[in-house]
Amino acid sequence: MDESDAALAVLGLPSNATDQQIRAAYRKKVKAVHPDMGGDPEAFQQVNEAYSTVSDDTT
């Protein structure tokens, strides 16, 4: 599993996810783990890092 696949797994997506699916999954996941909403700061950071990894690949 490469870095992109691992990042997509954090977002709960398959390796063939579209840009639109990636953005939607990121928004849903980040809202669920946001520290201001009672979420886990470490999980929030992990989701942000995962999105950064896959968004770099798609641009």
Task: Give the pLDDT of residue 59.
Answer: 47
Task: Give the pLDDT of residue 57.
Answer: 58
The pTM of the full predicted model, rounded to 2 decimals, is 0.86
Q: Per-residue pLDDT tens for 4-17?
A: 999 999 999 999 99
d(CA 42, CA 2) in angstroms, rounded, equals 21
Residue numbers in the chain where pLDDT is lower than 70:
1, 57-59
